[in-house]
Structure formats: structure tokens, C-alpha cells
Structure 1
């Protein structure tokens, strides 16, 4: 059971149901500060609006975020918006690409020429695989209101294909063939693409006319590179109907991947063993349950050792841009022993859960301990029970516990507490694995939201705190004093110029941090750069 801590409210203060200067009504009936549109943009890029929040529907939240982006563009900040989108995408700071692609499409379809040019110039760098390109086109099409494909749009799609090497394009178009009702053939038809280079022309012919027509034109050449391309494309076609052993040979010799394998062979240990040898990190993490269900990752097997070794390799994780949230999602899903959909089940292996636990911390940018004194405060109120980023297995409360564990494992001088309408002692230790920590946080009784409690408690108990980190959706309303005022009271009483970092766990427009106080900072929950930002702010670097 949670251990409740007695906290006395400061007298003669403005309650959270009344505004301080500069505050706006939040969705819970209290008052918070409105974040600026750039902060709103960053929250959206990382957290999206999928699933909405406890108080706001997904549709409304998505509309509000789009309006914030459009305001930035209309105020002349469109190119800066694109730079931010590009930076978050290239640095791997977001769990999902859809918010990135939605924001990019908004910029590309805007009337401002500078914003439009910046967006299309960034397209190749952001749309790294065809799935991203299809999603971008789908968003752009929805925003165009039937206005068709303009010159800039056609040229950008053309460049996506023309800047690829023939070999990488052949792999891409056979691995990711369609999404959201769009196929490569559709895009080539609409962008009027023609390729002069023989290699690219070969791949485009295959896309539009199929293998047989492609073979008629390119099957008998003296070009070794064309021969290599045709050999790969033949392997892709052969894989659709060959037997298991020949398929294994094609995977090994031609580099075929999971998407090339027909469903009739997806329960074969031989096929999965061949795939695992060259399987990308993201695909490996996504298919841990499947490989376990068919017995490939048997206890003490070489395949199990291989998987665990790769999960513990920080270089591989960083190179593959594996986002911490996706590892936490994989851990929570794998640990339950069954998928969210369908009938797939597996025996859970502690070696894999342990390796996933380590991979989670390794996927964040490494930071040195600051030596500062921290109070980590987790919002465990009712509004934090909503799913984070639309996940069925991870709530905002789970996510906040996982984020706090990152700091708790780096810093040595900290206290960890939870709060709703009361302050509770959180039964979490750094020695726990993530599944244990998130399970512990989910058992704490919930109530209303009073984000001032951590600062009130620290003042009352005369704790020496340099940095308060509050993990919350900022829907505070319950207390008799606002969090910012509670922090000012703490500073005055202790003489410590304490900082407040608000880790936003929802992509809404609210924050308990006063934007005019340089000692308060908003960061985005599950931004993979969050630990580095916390470190720099705690040390006073900005």
C-alpha cells in the first residue's frame, strides 16, 4: 500500500481554481500557464495526439496542435518550424513518425513560399523509407482539398526516387509496397517520373510493369549492376512460391527480409533463423514475441544469446534510432506473454526482459550525474491513467515512472514521490526493472491533482532540493496554492534557488511552469534527449 505523507497547505494563497496573472483555464477546472506554440509543437512531435487525453478527445487535441503549427507559420516562423521537425526526426527523438509527417505536410501545403520550400527540401531526410513517403502523401492529399499535385510537390516526390541508389531503391520498393491506399505505382504516375540512369530505370520499370516486362528490357545486358538488380528482383518474385529450404537460401544469399516472406512460411524456425542473421534492430524488437512463440529463442540457445547481446549494444541501438518508448512498449508487450491483437502467445524468458530493460536506458543519450539534489514527483492522479501515445499497455503513469527511473539510475541524491490530492511514498527503487516499477506505480490509489504538493512537502520537511522534476499532464486543480507560488515559497524559506522542470506527459497546451521564470523549464516526456536537457538545465548551462 502507498504510504501517505501529511502536507499542510500554506495559508492565504490563491487556490488552483482561481487564476494567477497570465494563467488560462485548463481542462480539469483549474488554471495553468499556456505553453508557447513552439513548446506545443515539440510536445506534438514527440507525443502526438493519438488517443487524446483524459479530458480532451483525440480529434480536438489534433485540431489544437495543428492550429498551433499554423499560427507559427502565419507569424513568419515556418522555416524554423521545419528546422525543428527535421531536427527531431534526424535525432531520433520521437517514438512515431506520423506526427512528424503530419507537421511536415502542413508546412508543405501552406501558401507561404519559404515554408513550402523548406518543407520539400527536408522531405528526403525525413521520409527515409517508403512508408514515411506514403504517409506524408496521404496527409498532404487530405490537406490539399483536391487541388492536385503542384510542381513543387511533383518534384519532391521525383527526387525521393531519383536520389536513391538502384540497389537501395529495389530493396525499399519491394519491402514497403503500399500504405494508406497509396502504392509506388500511384506515386510514379502522379509525379510523372522518368529515369535516365539504367539502374533506376530498371527498378521503375519493375514497379510499373512488373518483373516479366522488366526482364524483357533489362534481362539481357552486359551491365553487372543491372544483372545484380535483376537477380535480386527475381529472388523477390521466386520467394512468393518457393519451398522453405529454397526460401532460406534466398534470404541468406540475396538479403531478403521479413516483408518478402509469404505468410505460409512465417511459422518456420529455419526461415526465422535465416532472417535473424541480418535482421534490422527495429524488426528484431518488434518480432520478439513471434520468434519466441515458434521456439526459436529457446532457453540457452545461440539465437537467444544473439538477441540479448544485440539488445545490450548501445552502438547498435543508437545507430538504428531505436526510441526508448518503443523499447518500453516492446518490454511491456513481451512481458505479458501475448500480443494485443490476435492469438499469438509465448513463454516469457527473463533473459529477454532483462535485456530489454537495459536497452531502454541505453537508448537515451548518456549523461553524467550532476551531483544536484533532486525531488522526482510523479503525478498519479486519475487523468494520468489515460494511454500515452495511444498505447494499450502503457499509461501516462507508467511512462512517468519509466522516465523518472532514468534520472534515478544516474543521480545518487534524490527522493522519489507520487502525488494526486495527497503525497505518497512511491515503492520504486533503481534496482527494480521497468516492469516492476510501472506495476508498482499502477497500484497507487488515485485522486484529484495538486501539483504543488512536492514543493509544499519539501518546504515543510526542510528538505534541501536543487531541482524538482514533476512528471504530469499539468491538469492541476485541487490545491489551495499554485505550484509556481509553492516553489517561490520554498526558495524564500530555504534560500535555495531551486529549479522546476515540468516533464509534460500529454500534448496539451498547459504547463505548471511560469514561462517568465528562468528557473522553470518545460520538457517533453519521452523525448529521447530529455535526460541530457535535464542535466544541462540542472547545471545551469541554459
Structure 2
């Protein structure tokens, strides 16, 4: 660790434990290097912001020192001008979470330069790569913003069309950052009931999750096969990497047919001699088929000679008992969130 870094950390710790007076005392002895002086000036700006009572002065501090919301007095977080200053450097994950509030508070007005700036940030390739944006995180932010209200319904806003379009495009862009596994996947979406319910662990619809995951695998896994199924019926699904999320969702929304047979995708692959490394099943329901999916997978393994894996995603489930707990090649996922994609990928690659 460099001498500068040690000194910088010591100054920050001094500010945390002893306040600004402690930093002044620590820097009063001897000359400060140029790098240490920068740390000193930044901490001084934090101290000024903490006690600031003038809006314009605070805006100047934000713009000069790239201060963030957590470093400002809460009384100024109601100011539109302060938020306009914050928008220039606000981290992308924070921006995505606050889009609804900023629209509701009229900070982002239709056709304004601020909306154009926000759309540029959302679509910026460098920003997406720097924060390693998970496609599901952007999908969740997009679906939340489109809904036009918060979880409790108290905060409401009219979604801006330009921001909605930017979020959809950003989701498609973020997929390109996902590394393929080289595995042969079969994604099966259960359409035996409505996909309009809310995903457990998230605030977005199950159809959006299923459509988004199909788009991700269609683009990142060249050999991936996608099907939809219900009781006694399974058909290939024409979802491609070139589709928008809405187009993919429309393909999945079909007339519900009673009954869920989660073994059907596995038996279909066996009967049609499809080679599959990983089966991923998306469903809202309990399995009601006559054949156990775990048993069907074991039979498929014996016939194909491939140690295939099974992942069952109960999108609206709090409890799920499909996988054989003694089998390391089977996994149940209850609900779905931003970490689920990584879990699926790591499970497919035996990374645990």
C-alpha cells in the first residue's frame, strides 16, 4: 500500500472519528503533498455541505466535488435545482431507482434537456460497463417505472415516453455484456395460467421475467431452445435476440390451459432426441402432471448419456419442492431477483 493511500485513509478515518477539527489538527503539522491536499479539499467540501444553508452554494459544491445524495442535508433533497445538479454525476444504479420520484416531483419534464441527459446516461455503454449492470436490474427498473406508481401506490407519476424507450433499449444493450456459458439450454415457459401475476422477490410481472430471460438466453447462448407448454401440449417458441421485450412477452401470453406438467419439457426432449445440458422451467404453479420431473430427468440422463441439469423457477412461489435434494444437478428457485441470473449461470458451470 502506497504512502499516499495510507495517509488518505488515515485522514478519512480521522474525519469519521474526530470530525473536521481532527482533520485540521492532523494536517496542521508539516507540508501536505498534492494528492493529500486533494483529499483535504474534498473532506472540507463535505464539511461545508453538512452545514450549508444556501442552495446555490450547495449546488456549487455538488458540481465542483461531485457530491452524492448521502452527503447532503436532507432538507435540500426536496429542491428541484439541487436534483438537477445531482443528475449530472449521479451513479446509474441510484438514477434507475429514483426515476419515478424524479418524474413525480417534476424534476424530469417531458422534452426537457434533463430528460435528454438522463436518457443519454441510461444508454451510455461506458456507464453500463462500469457499474456492470445486470440486465435484470435494468428490467426491474424499467417495469417499475412503466407502472407509474410505487409499491404502496402513494407515489404516482406519468411515465415519460423517452425514458421508457431508453430503458427498453438499455435492457437490450445490457444483454450483450452477459457472457455465454457454451451450454445447451432448453427454456420452457409454463403458460397453463396467467403470466400477469407479480414475481415473488420483485415487483414486476412474471411474463416480463420469463420474456426477459428468454431474450437473454436467445442472444447469449446460440444453441438455446425455447418452448412453451401446458398440460399435454408443448410447442417451440419463436423468441429471438432481435425482439423487443414487448414482442417477446406477446409471444408468451397465450390462452391459459388448466394443468401444469413440469416433466413435459424433459420427456419432449427425450422423445425428440434433443441434447440438453440444462433444462430451465419457468412456472407460476405447482406441478400436477402424472410424472415427477426429477424422475423424468434421471431417465433422460440414462437415455442420452448426458448429465443434464434441471432448474425450476417458481416465479410466484414462496415454497417449491420439485428438485431432488439428494441430486446435485437439480435446483429449485422461489421467485426471481437480480441475483438469480448469476445463480443460474454459476449452477450451469458448476461454480459454487
Q: TM-score, normalised by structure 2?
A: 0.72
Name the structure, 1 or 2, with higher relative contact order (CA <8 Å, separation 6+). 1
- Residues 433 and 511 of structure 1, relative CA distance in 2, 3 Å threshold: same
- Of 140, 144, 156 in structure 2, the residue corresponding to residue 343 of structure 1 is 156
Q: 8 Å contact 1:501–1:534 — kept in the other structure?
A: no
Deviations 1:92-123 (A, max 9, x none): xxxxxxxxxxxxxxxxxxxxxxxxxxxxxxxx
Structure 2 residue 179 is the aligned partner of structure 1 residue 366: yes
Structure 2 residue 219 is the aligned partner of structure 1 residue 405: no
- Of 116, 132, 136 in structure 2, the residue corresponding to residue 304 of structure 1 is 116
Instruction: Give the aligned partner of residue 499 of structure 1.
Output: 308
Q: 8 Å contact 1:474–1:512 — kept in the other structure?
A: no
CA distance in 1: counterparts of 2:232 and 2:330, whole angstroms:
24
Give the count of matched residue pairs. Answer: 328
Instruction: Give the aligned partner of residue 88 of structure 1.
Output: none
Instruction: Give the aligned partner of residue 222 of structure 1.
Output: 28
Instruction: Give the aligned partner of residue 326 of structure 1.
Output: 137
Instruction: Give the aligned partner of residue 522 of structure 1.
Output: 331
- Residues 262 and 439 of structure 1, relative CA distance in 2, 3 Å threshold: farther
SS at match of 2:167: helix
Structure 1 residue 252, shift from structure 2 partner: 0.8
Structure 2 residue 88 is the aligned partner of structure 1 residue 282: no
Which 5+ residue runs of structure 1 have no aligned equivalent? 1-163, 169-196, 207-213
SS at match of 2:222: coil
Q: 8 Å contact 2:310–2:323 — kept in the other structure?
A: no
Instruction: Give the aligned partner of residue 250 of structure 1.
Output: 61
Which 5+ residue runs of structure 2 have no aligned equivalent? 30-36
Instruction: Give the aligned partner of residue 84 of structure 2.
Output: 273
Q: TM-score, normalised by structure 1?
A: 0.50
Q: 8 Å contact 1:451–1:474 — kept in the other structure?
A: no
- Residues 388 and 409 of structure 1, relative CA distance in 2, 3 Å threshold: same
Instruction: Give the aligned partner of residue 391 of structure 1.
Output: 202
Structure 1 residue 445, shift from structure 2 partner: 1.5
Structure 1 residue 347, shift from structure 2 partner: 1.9
- Segments of 4+ moved more than 6 angstroms: 164-168
Structure 1 residue 278, shift from structure 2 partner: 1.8
CA distance in 1: counterparts of 2:277 and 2:109, whole angstroms:
44
RMSD after superposition:
4.2
Structure 1 residue 275, shift from structure 2 partner: 1.2
What does 1:35-434 align with in structure 2 at a 5 Å threshold?
A: 200-206=13-19, 218=24, 222=28, 228-238=42-52, 241-243=53-55, 245-259=56-70, 260=72, 262=74, 266=78, 268=80, 270-292=81-103, 294=106, 296=108, 299=111, 301=113, 304=116, 307-308=119-120, 311-313=123-125, 316-317=127-128, 319-320=130-131, 322-340=133-151, 341=153, 342-349=155-162, 350-362=164-176, 365-367=178-180, 369-370=182-183, 372=184, 374-381=185-192, 387-395=198-206, 397-425=207-235, 426=237, 428-434=239-245
